[in-house]
């Protein structure tokens, strides 16, 4: 059976190639390795991004309430090294410093998220509004605008107020729709005079799958086969409601846009001549990006999801599909609730068809898809386990968005690469390569006619990387987390990204090669600086160890124990001597 949009991924792509009308873009040179020298459209917006829980720190300062990530990260064994975001980059206290870094990069925009429990500690607006939280975001927004950097704001980057999780079960409960809408409305009211780009959710796929299906993320629930679908259903409704709130109450006055930031890896058929692989690859993308994008643009879930989850649910003896349904009214309410689409993209997979048994015990989002994911061992994988650098997949994903959702206005909201090394390494040549190749594929996509208006490097700073703690660094700027002031150091990629921004693209091979060489040259001096600082802080740590409460306690113990033992030994010897003398007499 073929999905509703009867084109396979490949067919769509081939079609896009044929229909492309870009005059100056030569499709015959479309091999994966070719580099395209040229510039982005005038006014293209370059930015960098962050999120509240990953960078702000100040988890319990100035009246902030707890979020599910505060609670989750404090549980032992949930995060690498039991790291928490308690202080993270101390972004809450470093607004000016961080805006200076953005100015240094000459960014056009900065993407950040607002922490719901910092504004509304319990998540319920009628309970209490925390004015200090409002003040913090006012300060950040005003600094950005003074520096001519456009703020792009995400309302939900995963930090649900803990009270809402405890009281209602978080996104498993439909009541989140109204609570989230009230929070969004508060943000429109207080910040909307200065914010023109809003995004309701960041990567709802992760919220649903990792929060409610696998439990790797907060709130850590493992409701396999149902939890993710239910969470997603409520998130989509919440998104639509907030879009309508803005549309009816604020748009005329504030003239902003409301979108959503969706994530999607690209899925490429293992065997492009095998129809089953082609369909499996399409399923991979539809279950990922399409799960959210299709309702938002077309009013309902992708047909292929309805078919697969529905069929498996029947085989499992269930009366209804585990994938919830939208009523006709809901469909028309949700359809078209997107002024621009945020795309977060990092990597690609090869996909092949694989039938999974449909027993009730094995039911899960993953087995519902009937496919297997593969990677090419030659793909570079510098950092996170899941992140392989496959730039051409980016262009394909962008073309897929164009053809499936009516060529919407796109802002790339996340794209970047991590490194695993914990030691000093500011000369991040692999990140330069990643940015160079991925932004170039985006340029090719624009030449294909995809409506990409901006690009956000992920991320401005190294930061708390969710269940991976601080072990994976995505930043353009290195953050020394061992130092309590959390100083920032530019990596070589800062120099390189700055050049792409100032040239609005890639002028010619000689110049781009020069950028790379210069970036790597300058980074070695910052590297020395950081290495010296690290040596100093290691020495300071050793000194601190000598004087820390534990060692001073040990000194105290020796002070008491040693004399006591000596005195006791002398006493015992005296008693023993007296005993001997007596026996002799």
Query: How far from chain centre, in Å, is Cα 406?
Result: 26
DSSP secondary structure, 261-293, as one string: EEE--EEEESSTT-HHHHHHHHHHHIIIIIHHH
202 or 389: CB nearest ligand NOJ: 202
| Least spacing, CB of residue 291 vs ligand NOJ, in Å | 16
Q: Which of 56, 282, 414, 441 is catalytic?
A: 414
Cβ-based nearer residue to ligand NOJ, 50 or 87: 50
> d(Cα 293, Cα 284) in Å, to the nearest integer?
14
Q: Which of residues 237-256 bind ligand NOJ (CB under 6 A)?
A: none
Token duo for residue 374:
């593969």
* DSSP 3-state percent helix, strand, coil across the chain (nearest 5): 50, 15, 35
- Choose between 84 and 254: whose C-beta lies nearer to ligand NOJ: 84
- Within 500-519, the residues that bind ligand NOJ by CB under 6 A are none
Rounded least distance, CB 202 to ligand NOJ, Å = 5
Residue 54 or 404: the one with the smaller Cβ distance to ligand NOJ is 54
At 405, list the tokens.
């959702």
Tokens representing 158 are 């995963």
Q: Which of 83, 277, 414, 462 binds ligand NOJ (CB under 6 A)?
A: 414
Nearer to ligand NOJ, 139 or 385 (CB): 385
Separation between Cα atoms, residue 73 and residue 79, nearest integer Å: 6
Nearer to ligand NOJ, 10 or 231 (CB): 231
The residue within the footprint of ligand NOJ, chosen from 203, 214, 348, 493 (CB under 6 A), is 203
Residue 551, SS3 per DSSP: helix
Q: Is 202 in the site for ligand NOJ (CB under 6 A)?
A: yes
Strand extents, DSSP E, 320-446: 341-344, 348-353, 371-374, 410-415
Number of amino acids touching ligand NOJ (CB under 6 A): 8
What is the nearest approach in angstroms of ligand NOJ to the Cβ of residue 434?
A: 13
For the bound state, the minimum distance from the C-beta of residue 94 to ligand NOJ, rounded and expressed in Å, comes to 19
Distance in Å, CB of 81 to ligand NOJ, minimum: 17
CA distances from 580 to 566, 575, 576 (A): 21, 9, 6
Is 414 a residue of the active site?
Answer: yes
368 binds ligand NOJ (CB under 6 A): no
Cβ proximity to ligand NOJ: between 40 and 266 the closer is 266
What is the nearest approach in angstroms of ligand NOJ to the Cβ of residue 407? 24
**β-bridge pairing 410-415 and 197-202:** unpaired
| 67 binds ligand NOJ per the rule CB under 6 A | no
One of 85, 170, 256, 344 touching ligand NOJ (CB under 6 A): 344
**Residue 220 or 225: which CB sits closer to ligand NOJ?**
220
Q: What's the length of the chain? A: 585
* Closest residue to ligand NOJ using C-beta atoms: 203
- In the bound complex, what is the minimum distance in angstroms from residue 474's beta carbon to ligand NOJ? 6
Of 525, 348, 511, 495, give the one whose Cα is nearest residue 431.
495
The site string for ligand NOJ over 7-46 (x = CB under 6 A, - otherwise) reads: ----------------------------------------
For the chain, helix (H) and strand (E) counts, in that order, are 21, 15
The string of DSSP codes covering 21-53 is --TT--GGG--TT----EEPPTT-EEEEE--HH
Q: With H, G, I as helix, E, B as strand and everything else as coil, classify residue 348.
A: strand
Instruction: For the CB of residue 494, give the shortest distance to ligand NOJ in the complex, in Å.
Output: 18
Residues of this chain, 441-470, that bind ligand NOJ according to CB under 6 A: 465
Label the pairing between strands 410-415 and 452-457: parallel
- By CB under 6 A, name the one of 8, 45, 51, 67 that touches ligand NOJ: 51
For the record, the structure tokens of 482 come out as: 């061992």
Task: Say how many C-beta atoms besides its own lie within 10 A of residue 324's C-beta.
Answer: 16
Binding site for ligand NOJ (CB under 6 A): 51, 54, 202-203, 344, 414, 465, 474
**Residues with catalytic function:** 414
């Amino acid at each position: 059976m073929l999905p509703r949009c009867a084109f396979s991924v490949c067919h769509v792509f081939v079609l896009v190639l044929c229909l492309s009308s870009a005059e100056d873009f030569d499709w015959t040179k479309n091999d994966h390795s070719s580099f395209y020298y040229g510039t982005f459209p005038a006014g293209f917006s370059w930015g960098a991004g962050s999120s509240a829980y990953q960078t702000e720190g100040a988890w319990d300062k100035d009246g902030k309430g707890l979020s599910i990530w505060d609670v989750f990260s404090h549980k032992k064994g949930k995060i690498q090294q039991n790291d928490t975001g308690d202080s993270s980059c101390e972004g809450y206290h470093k607004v000016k410093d961080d805006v200076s870094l953005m100015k240094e990069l000459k960014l056009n925009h900065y993407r950040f998220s607002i922490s719901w429990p910092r504004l509304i500690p319990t998540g319920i607006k009628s309970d209490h509004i925390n004015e200090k939280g409002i003040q913090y975001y006012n300060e950040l927004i005003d600094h950005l605008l003074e520096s001519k950097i456009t703020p792009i704001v995400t309302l939900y980057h995963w930090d649900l107020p803990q009270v809402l999780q405890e009281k209602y079960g978080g996104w498993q409960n439909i009541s989140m729709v109204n609570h989230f809408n009230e929070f969004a409305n508060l943000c429109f009211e207080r910040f909307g005079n200065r914010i023109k780009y809003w995004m309701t959710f960041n990567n709802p796929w992760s919220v649903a799958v990792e929060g409610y299906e696998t439990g790797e993320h907060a709130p850590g629930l493992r409701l396999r086969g149902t939890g993710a679908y239910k969470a997603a259903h409520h998130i989509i409704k919440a998104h639509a409601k907030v879009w309508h709130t803005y549309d009816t109450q604020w748009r005329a006055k504030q003239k902003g846009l409301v979108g959503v930031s969706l994530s999607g890896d690209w899925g490429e058929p293992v065997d492009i001549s095998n129809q089953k692989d082609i369909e499996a690859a399409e399923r991979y993308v539809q279950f990922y990006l399409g799960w959210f994008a299709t309702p938002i643009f077309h009013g309902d879930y992708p047909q292929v999801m309805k078919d697969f989850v529905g069929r498996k649910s029947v085989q499992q003896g269930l009366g209804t599909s585990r994938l919830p349904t939208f009523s006709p009214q809901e469909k028309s309410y949700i359809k078209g609730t997107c002024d621009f689409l945020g795309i977060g993209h990092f990597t690609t997979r090869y996909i092949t068809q694989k039938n999974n048994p449909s027993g009730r015990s094995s039911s899960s989002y993953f087995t519902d898809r009937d496919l297997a994911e593969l990677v090419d061992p030659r793909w570079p994988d510098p950092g996170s386990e899941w992140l392989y650098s496959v730039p051409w997949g980016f262009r394909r994903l962008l073309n897929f968005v164009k053809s499936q959702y009516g060529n919407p206005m796109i802002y790339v909201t996340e794209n970047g690469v991590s490194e695993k090394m914990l030691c000093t390494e500011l000369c991040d040549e692999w990140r330069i390569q990643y940015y160079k190749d991925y932004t170039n594929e985006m340029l090719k996509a624009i030449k294909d006619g995809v409506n990409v208006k901006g690009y956000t490097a992920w991320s401005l700073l190294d930061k708390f990387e969710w269940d991976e703690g601080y072990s994976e660094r995505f930043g353009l700027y290195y953050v020394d987390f061992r130092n309590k002031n959390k100083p920032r150091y530019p990596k070589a990629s800062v120099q390189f990204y700055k050049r792409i921004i100032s040239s609005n693209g890639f002028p010619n091979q000689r110049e781009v090669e020069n950028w790379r060489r210069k970036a790597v040259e300058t980074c070695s001096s910052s590297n020395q600086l950081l290495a010296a600082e690290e040596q100093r802080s290691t020495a300071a740590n050793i000194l601190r160890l000598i004087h820390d409460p534990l060692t001073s306690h040990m000194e105290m113990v020796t002070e008491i124990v040693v004399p006591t033992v000596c005195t006791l030994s002398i006493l015992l010897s005296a008693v023993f001597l007296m005993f001997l003398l007596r026996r002799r007499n």
